[in-house]
Amino acid sequence: MKTLALLAGVLATLVLGSARAATSAPVVRYVDDQFGPVLATPKKQALYTWNVEKDFKIHCKGSCAKLWPPLVVRSKAAVPARIARIKGTFGTIRRPDGRLQVTYNRRPVYTYVHEGPTQVLCDNVDGWFVVRLRG
């Protein structure tokens, strides 16, 4: 009986720990009516990459970053390398101002300042593309 209780406790810890990790991820998979599965913030604001940053470096600074706010986190630990239901890898890159920005497959990701939740207004605009997810 003690073994069963211990096993139940361990299982509960694993389930709750996984749920906590999933809810604290800085990104989610959101299914948009037009674009299908896209990468978004937990508040379902679409995330974008900029073709200028194919070299995996930060080029969107100053006024660019005001229009395209980077998705930033407080620490590298806030970004798991893998997130359930999203293929690809996540990480961070240090911005010129010292903050850590989230990356997807090594590319920095951004929101668009004039979009609200569940909106995708700027796909294929001046080299900006919504992050579409496969699978």
pLDDT value at residue 112: 98
Residue (of 78, 80, 76) closest to 90 by Cα position = 80
pLDDT value at residue 15: 41
pLDDT value at residue 131: 98
Residue 81 falls inside a structural domain: yes
pLDDT value at residue 120: 97
Residue 14 falls inside a structural domain: no
Residue 98 falls inside a structural domain: yes
pLDDT value at residue 13: 42
Residue 19 falls inside a structural domain: no
Residue (of 53, 62, 66) closest to 128 by Cα position = 53
pLDDT value at residue 24: 82
| Regions of the chain with pLDDT less than 50 | 4-23
pLDDT value at residue 21: 44
Residue 5 falls inside a structural domain: no
The tally of domains found in the chain comes to: 1
Segments forming the whole domain that contains residue 38: 27-130
From residue 84, alpha-carbon distances to 21, 27, 39, 60, 87 in Å are 10, 11, 12, 29, 8
